[in-house]
Chains A and B, each alone.
Chain A
Amino acid sequence: MSRDAQQLVSEGLLPGHRGGGKEPLVVAGLSPSRLALRRLRHNVVALTFGGMFLLIAALCFMAPLYARYVAHTGPNDNHVMETILVGGHRVDVVSPIGIPIGPTWHSRFFFGADFNGRDLAVRLLYGGRNSLIIGFSATAITIVCALVIALLAGYYRGWVDILLTRFLDLLWAYPAVLLGVAIGTSLVLGGLSIGPLHVSGNSLGVPAVIIGFVNIPYVAKPIRGEVLLLREREFVDAARVLGLGPLRIIFSEILPNLSSTIIVFVPLMIANSILLEAGLSYLGAGVQPPNASWGTMISSGVEYITSSPYLVLVPGITLIVAVLGINVFGDGLRDALDPRAAISKAH
């Protein structure tokens, strides 16, 4: 048995006898995906952080339940003139000079209220939902568009590659945040109209499309590089000899070999998309009021940071934990899928 196989067996990553005796060693083969899963299972750090992210995501998607059964208020319900009982005392949700109540650590206004008297905990969960929806949607848009561009550019090469690569360069050259702000600001009023499809300016689809669009080069370029390598492989030549057309070769031969790369990109792009969405919303070009997102909550809370720091800290810490969780999990996933991978993503 090779030294690598011995090591894998001793580490428990490969089934087999660990003995040092003269018996022949029988090693059962594992598929690459099962191998990856085993590596991932042993990466406690990645699983922990992944679990943190899943927990936050689960809580966010249960926001309507929390709002209805725990907080008894919606994310956009203003309680400016209301009072609540805190420690046996009647307290204004928003004081006469506009200072909102702090954390009560009870069902109502658990994390306190914002300047409009809205329950911060409810908005945190709904905002997380919006951020995650945008993150996932944007990632889907990025991956799909990047794949199409990369596959066409990498396989066909020639003028197709030149045109598409220059388009990616152009997109990459423009700072993502500035591009996002420029597009987002211009779409706020009129929304997005493409033929019969119309998306209003305050739809979550607008920031999702913008973020998905600006992130395309970050995924397309590495994948294009992989496609360039794969198209020279023997199985691709064999497919050509068999008479398969270019599109059939792309989707049946090349695309499946990109799966591990794509899987690695997904969590990284989700993290990046959530961060970019928070940034755009902070600058007023992402999620539009009264809809909540972690970015808009941080932006709104900055003005009250001296009197009500929780308005910034609560969404800020949640954002950090969520992004950190999925980033670390993504790193672990990359290590599991290909320990020798050197995929890097420029920010």
Chain B
Amino acid sequence: MERSLLGGRNAPAACEPRMCESGWVCLRASTQCTDFSLGSISGDDEGRAVTKNRKKWTSLAAVLCTSAMAITAISVGSAGASAGRAGNAAHVSGPVNGGTATVDMPGYPNSLDPQEGYTLNAGEADWIVYTPLLTYAHKSGLAGTQIIPGLATALPVVTDNGTTYTLTLRKGLEYSNGTAVVASDFKFAVERALKLNWGASSFLLVIQGAGAYQSGHASTLTGITTDDATGRITIKLTSSYGAFDNVLCFPALSPVPQTTPMTVQTTHLPPGVGAYTIENIVPDVSFDLVQNPLFAKFHIPGIPLGHLNEIKVEVESNSVSAAEAVLDNQVDAFDVTGNIPPSLLGTIESRASSRFAKVIVASTDYFFLNESMAPFNNEQARIAVSYAVDRNALARLGGGFTVPDCYFVPVGIPGHPTTPCPYPSPNLAKAKALVKAANLVGTKVSVYGWSQSPGEQQVEYYASVLTSIGFKVDLKIINPSIYWSTIGNVKTAAQTGIAGQFLDFPNPGDFFLLLDARNIHPVNSDNFGNVNDPHLQATIVRLEQVPASQLASVANQWAALSVYAAQKVLAYTWGSSQLPEFLSNRINFKTAVFQPLFMDDWSSWELNS
């Protein structure tokens, strides 16, 4: 079953009839809220996800029929007739507190240190351990993109034409070790994130003095002033940045004690203010999240205390083993960062349909093309790649979890174009001709990929296509845990490779940061392709100042920029990902939250009674 998260137009994800918005109908049989004026998302021969409009009257008839079927199904299902639903048949009248859940994660987070962790799996843990000043609602679907106060008493007061943010820290907060939280801890956390070259530290450079502090030219971050007595925090920006509220929601900006070393911590993490603490860390192997008994007394609205006592996370790189373990209820969750093996997909969908879902997330899968060196400093070479690669083939290799697309801003984010892709593919003849015309036949190209399905298969296909159009390919498959640091290091001189971006916040700027020249760094660079296009740069800088509340007014400008990026092939975009939500029958699937930004919300999990 599929549930649309941000796809279509604001489609809610969950499916209880009462949870569907006005005008939407819950198709119980497919567990999907549907606006019958829209259609489902599917791929077409251009490799671009399109929405097909259905006629209202046809959809209404379908709704009535399926509702009738659903009513019948409910009465049958409650008797536990289906083996796949048996584990989840229990009706829970209220949350069940206590217990332990286990999670199989395909790879260890890049770091659990809040000021270093940046990968999806790092965020899953850090988000419920290190609460920032602002955070997101712990809800599925679009509701989960709503910003709410975290450790701050309220949303920031924004003044001085969007360049000054003022917040107040809640009183009486304590870290998990009992130490009091003070306002200056926030400033320390930001400084620490800059010093440790946190993967998204480019977001922080908009703070006055951040650049000087990060480069070592200043001993303190001048753009943030704090008053520990009142809890007041004032942040001054160099220029207006519409998405700065979202930046304040990163766990990296959660306060930590000022005794925390200015080095990355692997086993002795700093304490945080959150529903859980991270303990029993065995790097690259496992870690536990243990409920924080101190958190309950702060009564922070909108942030759950967590039902489970403990969540045990283990690295299991074998996706077959991990999926089978969850299928057999030996492990409670298949982490979203893993890939359900295609060979098991049919079995899972038939045996465990009530606890499995493919969730469409706003994400961009792409191959970066390093424009600082041959051959991809030549636009013809990049266009050749765009002609040669078949997005549908890449989607097929994704095992049914990829939706083809060619635009850098994905479906569901304002600024996703609706025009056809500029270079119809595959067209190998055209691609070969372009490579030949540019005198690039035989040019050596290093192609980077990670040793995890389906990315490894996709990059092997990509490498074979580059070979077929005349390049001399040197394929390098490396461990996922060191992949990003390897391609983000200028010394690696990676010419092209696979990459992807999941939604940090619902703003096109979050995706264009990967093409932003300001994010080219010697290490931990986000702009793997070293893209430095003047028109793109000027437009990004102009549009990112627009407040998030006015995003719709510049959506067409973001869309035009997406088209421009596709025409110049500043990166070769090929699709968006769907992620698996797959739990054992011990966990209440209906109440489990799939947060759009932090994916599985472990604090929402409760055991079936």
B-binding residues in A (CB < 8 A):
76-78, 80-81, 94-99, 115-116, 185, 188-189, 200-202, 284, 288-290, 302-308
Q: How many A-B residue pairs have CB under 8 A?
A: 97
CB interface residues, B 444-500, toward A, < 8 Å:
451, 453-454, 456-457, 460-461, 463-465, 467, 474-479, 486, 492
Which residues of B in the span 262-313 have a Cβ within 8 Å of any Cβ on A? none
Q: List 17 additional A-B contacts (Cβ < 8 Å) besides A289-B477, A307-B344.
A: A80-B461, A81-B393, A94-B396, A95-B396, A98-B396, A98-B397, A98-B399, A99-B343, A115-B342, A115-B453, A284-B451, A290-B464, A303-B318, A304-B343, A306-B341, A306-B344, A307-B342
Residue B390 at the A interface, CB < 8 A? Answer: yes
B342 touches A99 (CB 8 A): yes
Interface string of B337-368 (1 = CB under 8 A from A): 00001111111000000000000000000000
Contact A188:B478 (CB < 8 A) given known A80-B393, A115-B457, A302-B320: yes
Is B573 an interface residue, CB under 8 A from the partner?
no
Known contacts A94-B396, A94-B397, A97-B345; A76 and B456 CB within 8 A of each other: no
Query: A288 contacts B400, CB within 8 Å?
Result: no
B392 in contact (CB, < 8 A): yes
A interface majority secondary structure = loop
Known: A96-B400, A303-B319. A284 touches B342 (CB 8 A): no
Q: Does B12 contact A (CB under 8 A)?
A: no
Determine whether the beta carbon of A289 is less than 8 Å from that of B390: no
Instruction: Point out the residue from A201, A289, A305 that lies within 8 Å of B460, measured CB to CB.
Output: A289
Write 13 A-B pairs (CB below 8 A) sorted by A numbering. A76-B464, A81-B393, A96-B396, A97-B345, A98-B397, A98-B399, A115-B397, A115-B453, A188-B477, A284-B479, A288-B477, A290-B464, A304-B343
Chain A residues positioned under 8 Å from B345 (CB to CB): 97
Q: Is B398 an interface residue (CB 8 A)?
A: yes
Separation of A202 and B342 alpha carbons in the complex (Å): 28
**Contacting residues, chain B, for A76 (C-beta < 8 A):** 464, 467
With A115-B457, A188-B478, A290-B464 as given contacts, are A304 and B390 in contact (CB-CB < 8 Å)?
no
> Closest CB of chain A to B237's CB: distance in Å?
39
Q: Which residues of A contact B492 (CB under 8 A)?
A: 189
Q: How far is B398's CA from A76's CA once the two chains are assembled, in angstroms? A: 19
Cβ–Cβ < 8 Å partners of A80 in chain B? 390, 393, 396-397, 461
A78 to B344, CA, bound (A): 23
Cβ contacts under 8 Å, A94 to chain B: 396-397
- Judge whether A116 and B454 touch: CB under 8 Å: no
Contact of B474 among A99, A116, A200 (CB under 8 A): A200
| Complex: A290 Cα to B449 Cα, angstroms | 11
Q: Give the most central of A77, A97, A303: most B CB within 10 Å.
A: A303
Are the C-beta atoms of A304 and B475 separated by less than 8 Å? no
B457 pairs with A116, CB closer than 8 A: yes
The residues of B that contact A115 with a CB separation of less than 8 Å are: 342, 397, 453, 457
Q: A303, B476: Cβ atoms under 8 Å?
A: no
| Shortest CB distance B49–A (Å) | 15
* B346: A residues at CB distance < 8 A: 97
> Known contacts A80-B390, A303-B320; is A97 also within 8 Å of B342 by CB?
yes
Chain B residue total in the interface (Cβ 8 A): 37
Taking the closest CB of chain B, its distance from the CB of A293, in whole angstroms, is 14
Q: Which of A80, A96, A200 has the largest number of chain B CB atoms within 10 A? A: A80
Please determine whether B320 and A305 come into contact, CB atoms closer than 8 angstroms. yes
Minimal beta-carbon separation of B580 from chain A (angstroms): 13
Cβ-defined partner of B453 (8 Å) among A185, A202, A290, A303: A303
Question: In the complex, what distance in Å separates the CA atom of A76 from the CA atom of B466?
Answer: 12
The answer to whether B396 and A78 touch across the interface, beta carbons within 8 angstroms, is no
Complex CA distance for A96 and B342, rounded to whole angstroms: 10
What is the CA–CA distance of A289 and B320 in the complex, to the nearest angstrom?
Answer: 21
- Chain A residues near B318 (CB, 8 Å)? 302-303
| Interface pair A116/B397, CB less than 8 Å apart | yes
* Pairs A-B, 8 closest by C-beta atoms: A307-B343, A98-B399, A98-B342, A97-B400, A80-B393, A78-B464, A304-B343, A306-B343
Contact pick for A202, options B393, B460, B474, B486, CB 8 Å: B474
Whether the Cβ atoms of B475 and A202 lie closer than 8 Å is yes
Docked Cα-Cα span, A287 to B479, in Å, equals 15
Q: Mark B391-411, 1 if CB is under 8 A from A, else 0.
A: 011001111100000000000
| Interface pair B467/A305, CB less than 8 Å apart | no
Cβ 8 A contact of A188, one of B347, B461, B476: B476
Are A201 and B476 closer than 8 Å at their CB atoms?
A: yes
A307 to B345, CA, bound (A): 10
Closest-by-CB residue of A relative to B324 is A306
Chain A residue contacts of B486, Cβ below 8 A? 189
- Tell me the bound Cα distance from A116 to B465 in angstroms: 12
A78 and B400 form a contact (CB under 8 A) = no
What separation, in Å, do the CA atoms of A265 and B392 have in the docked complex?
A: 52
Across the interface, do B451 and A304 meet the contact criterion of CB distance under 8 Å? no
Contact B476 A97 (CB under 8 A): no
How far in angstroms is the closest Cβ of chain A from B280? 26
Contacts of A99 in B (CB 8 A): 342-343
* A204 CB to nearest chain B CB (Å): 14
CA distance A202 to B478 in the complex (A): 12
State which of B392, B399, B464 has its C-beta within 8 Å of the C-beta of A81. B392
Q: Which residue of A lies closest to B395 (CB)?
A: A96
Q: Measured between alpha carbons, how far is A289 from B400 in the docked complex, in Å?
A: 23
Cα A76 to Cα B347 in complex, Å, equals 30
- B320 adjacent to A81 (CB under 8 Å): no
Contact B342 A288 (CB under 8 A): no
Report A-chain residues with C-beta under 8 Å of the C-beta of B398.
98
Distance between Cα atoms of A303 and B393 in the complex (Å): 19
Decide: B461 and A78 in contact? CB cutoff 8 A.
yes
Indicate with 1 or 0, residue by residue over B362-398, a CB within 8 angstroms of chain A CB atoms. 0000000000000000000000000000101100111
Q: Is the CB of B396 within 8 A of A289?
A: no
**Chain B's nearest CB lies how many Å from the CB of A234?**
58
Residue from B341, B454, B475 in contact with A288 in the complex, judged by beta carbons closer than 8 Å = B475
A126 to chain B, nearest CB (A): 14
Q: Is the CB of B393 within 8 A of A78?
A: yes
Residues of A within 8 A of B393 (CB): 78, 80-81
Bound complex: CA A303 to CA B457 (Å):
12
